[in-house]
Amino acid sequence: MSSSNLPSAHRANSAYDTTLCVDDLRDALSTHGITLPSLRVDLPSFAGTYQPPAGLVALGNCNTATARKLARALRGEERAPSRPPLDVEVVAVPKALQGLRRTVRRYLDAPCADVQLCVTELVGNVIRHVGEGVCVRVRVARTDGGRIRVEVTDPEAKAVPVLLPAGDEDEAGRGLALIDAVSLRWGVEQGVEKTVWCELAEGE
């Protein structure tokens, strides 16, 4: 069936879908610093005897440097620039933890159970030892060397967490032990405020 025989609503939807496809492709390439001058939707007549309802996506007309960069990106050799760190302020209450886990998962755009665990435990420690309702700052960032750094800052600089052994029957005290187990390293920075941080290997 040629494009002229298709219902007008179907032709319009197909053209819109193809335009969205081109926009998505343009955005994906731009994260690698790649711009293709001819990336656009061409009319069906461009295809000659083959006439899809919304035309074809024209791709190309770039110089050799861009072509090589595109090849490296497709092979996975061209890494996209690092995203800005996730930096949010939340009220430290138990019901905020689930939302924080979702936010971290969306930011990293990959399975990140250990990172989510560290965020949950660090904010949970603030709830338990500083007080529910305290405003905390949560920061997650990718660092050089393929690591992910998690920081939780609260206003109580003197309430320093200490890693203590927890017995089999203890109901609390395992938060820092879990962080110590899943992270590469962790520590505390004190000033006017206190920041507890940890670093994990990306990809867990």
Say what the pLDDT of residue 88 is.
96
Rounded to the nearest 10 degrees, how much is the dihedral formed by the CA atoms of 62, 38, 31, 105? -140
Does residue 59 or residue 178 have the better pLDDT? 178
Residue-level pLDDT at 53: 53
Cα separation, 148 vs 158, whole angstroms: 26
- Percent of the chain at pLDDT > 90 equals 41
SS3 state at 169: coil
Report the pLDDT value the prediction gives residue 138, as an integer from 0 to 100. 97
pLDDT at position 181? 92
Least confident piece of the model among 24-33, 40-49, 77-86, 99-108: 40-49
Contact 33, 65 (CB under 8 A): no
CA-nearest of 147, 99, 97, 98 to 123 is: 97
Give the 3-state secondary structure of residue 49: coil
Is the confidence at residue 2, as pLDDT, over 50? no
Q: What is the pLDDT of residue 115?
A: 96
> Of 9-18, 26-35, 148-157, which one has max mean pLDDT?
148-157
Query: In the predicted model, what is the mean pLDDT of residues 65-78?
Result: 77
pLDDT digits (tens, 9 = 90+) for 32-67: 778 888 887 665 544 454 455 556 677 777 787 778
Is 179 in contact with 122 (CB distance < 8 Å)? yes
Q: What confidence category does residue 80 fall into, taking pLDDT thresholds of 50, 70 and 90?
A: low
Check whether 196 has a pLDDT greater than 70: yes
Q: Mean pLDDT check: name the lowest of 90-94, 130-134, 141-145, 170-174.
A: 170-174
pLDDT for residue 29 is more than 50: yes
Alpha-helical (H) ranges within the chain are: 8-30, 64-74, 96-108, 113-129, 175-182
Structure tokens at 176: 């820092």
